[in-house]
Amino acid sequence: MSSVAYSPDGRHIISGSADTTIRIWVAKTGAAVGNPLKGHTGGVSYVAYSPDGRHIISGSGDRTIQIWDAKTGAVIGNPLKGHTDGVSSVAYSPDGCQIISGSGDCTIRIWDAETGAALGNPLKGHTDWVSSVAYSPDGRHIISGSDDRTIRVWDAKTGTVVGNPLKGHIDGVWSVAYSPDGLHIISGSYDRTIRIWDAKTGAAVGNPLEGHTERVSSVAYSPDGRHIISASGDHTIKTWDAEASTAAVKPLEGHTHSVESSIRPSSCNLIHLEFFAKPDMDGWVRDSEGSLLYWVPHECRSNLHSSALMTIPLTSHSRSVSLEFDDNIAFGTSWTQILKSTPS
């Protein structure tokens, strides 16, 4: 599963999967409700409920957004088309009238939730994959996190950028969220940290929250705004005191692989079930089971396609691995010569 969400009334859970389907579950019993929702031709990267709980939206590697009837599971209207790369994140506006989507095409799009029509032009400014989008609680602003290491704030009505990009992360931003009162923004990054920002000024609040040993893939505030939770590739979920910016309790441990908010599907080949992986701090790229795949020289890491490497999950050993580079790659024993010249 790549994404999960509760219904507003807490009675149901929805899940999106790389198998291209969405499922609805009874939250209390865990029983499946009806048949899988089918319509996407690529992995489902993100799912969300409308504020009134009547509809479900899903974003997919097939570059589209689908709207579904939450009660019957039927598709409503035609797919929302316009993105030229996989859709990584979707969200409803607080009033349920609009939908926003972030994509690998580096843009954010705004849609009319009733008609499915695109509203205005794509929001452009990011220079890499837009991995996460969210509305402010009052619906006046949109925030987006990107692999370009920045967070941007947008005017939800005009689509214009508000202020300068929020900079501080030293690697891609995977998840962004507003505090319930709208005063703060939080971001989780591949640099293993969470940052808190003043939503009005864009200034960083305090020091980065450090403690995870792998990428931070998802962040969220508690409903009362007092705590922040973060999920990571280090297999843990951490809870933080939002005001003191310190870990509040022991990490929640038990997962045996990375805890993700979404698997970002590639648009390069929509037949396969894919996810994105990047070199760790030492340059190693691992498969979906944590095994070493290959090592990337220091000077080559900045030249990776979209700052990421495409791999096919090795949950089945009958599957192959697909790698995508620009120009720099060394074969055979020549990699040892590159290793010798790598900065220590």
What are 80-122's pLDDT values in tens digits?
999 999 999 999 999 999 999 999 999 999 999 999 999 999 9
Q: What does the angle CA 233 – CA 123 – CA 199 come to, to the nearest 5 degrees?
A: 65
DSSP helix/strand/coil, 130: strand
DSSP helix/strand/coil, 26: strand
What are 270-324's pLDDT values in tens digits?
333 334 456 666 677 766 556 777 676 655 554 443 334 444 433 333 344 445 5
Q: Are 232 and 238 in contact (CB under 8 A)?
A: yes
**pLDDT at residue 120 in the model:** 95
Query: 138, 57, 59: which is closest to 93 by C-alpha?
Result: 138
Tokens of 221: 């505030």
| Residue count of the chain | 344
Distance of alpha carbon 49 from alpha carbon 46, whole angstroms: 11
Distance of alpha carbon 138 from alpha carbon 292, whole angstroms: 45
Cα 170 to Cα 29, 301, 303, 322: the distances in Å are 42, 14, 16, 27
Distance of alpha carbon 185 from alpha carbon 195, whole angstroms: 8
Report the relative pairing of strands 173-178 and 184-189 from DSSP bridges: antiparallel
Q: What is the pLDDT along the chain (344 residues), one digit of tens a residue?
A: 578 888 998 899 898 888 899 999 998 888 999 999 999 999 999 999 999 999 999 999 999 999 999 999 999 999 999 999 999 999 999 999 999 999 999 999 999 999 999 999 999 999 999 999 999 999 999 999 999 999 999 999 999 999 999 999 999 999 999 999 999 999 999 999 999 999 999 999 999 999 998 888 888 888 888 889 888 878 788 888 888 755 554 444 444 444 445 333 333 333 333 344 566 666 777 665 567 776 766 555 544 433 344 444 333 333 444 455 545 555 555 555 555 544 44
**pLDDT at residue 93 in the model:** 96
**pLDDT at residue 209 in the model:** 94
Question: What is the Cα Rg of the chain in Å?
Answer: 20
Q: Render 36-94 in DSSP notation, one character per residue.
A: EE---SS-EEEEEE-TTSSEEEEEETTSEEEEEETTT--B-SS-EE--SS-EEEEEE-T
Q: Are 229 and 237 in contact (CB under 8 A)?
A: yes
Looking up tokens 């190693």 gives 284
**pLDDT at residue 30 in the model:** 86
Amino acid at 132: S
Which contiguous run of DSSP H or E holds residue 336? helix 334-340
Task: Please report the domains of the chain, with CATH numbers, ordered by start residue.
Answer: 3-253 (2.130.10.10), 275-340 (no CATH)
The predicted model scores a pTM of 0.72
Q: What does the angle CA 327 – CA 104 – CA 130 come to, to the nearest 5 degrees?
A: 115
**Which segments within 156-257 are labelled E, that is strand?**
166-167, 173-178, 184-189, 193-198, 209-210, 216-221, 227-232, 236-241, 246-247, 252-253
Q: For residue 28, give the DSSP letter.
A: T
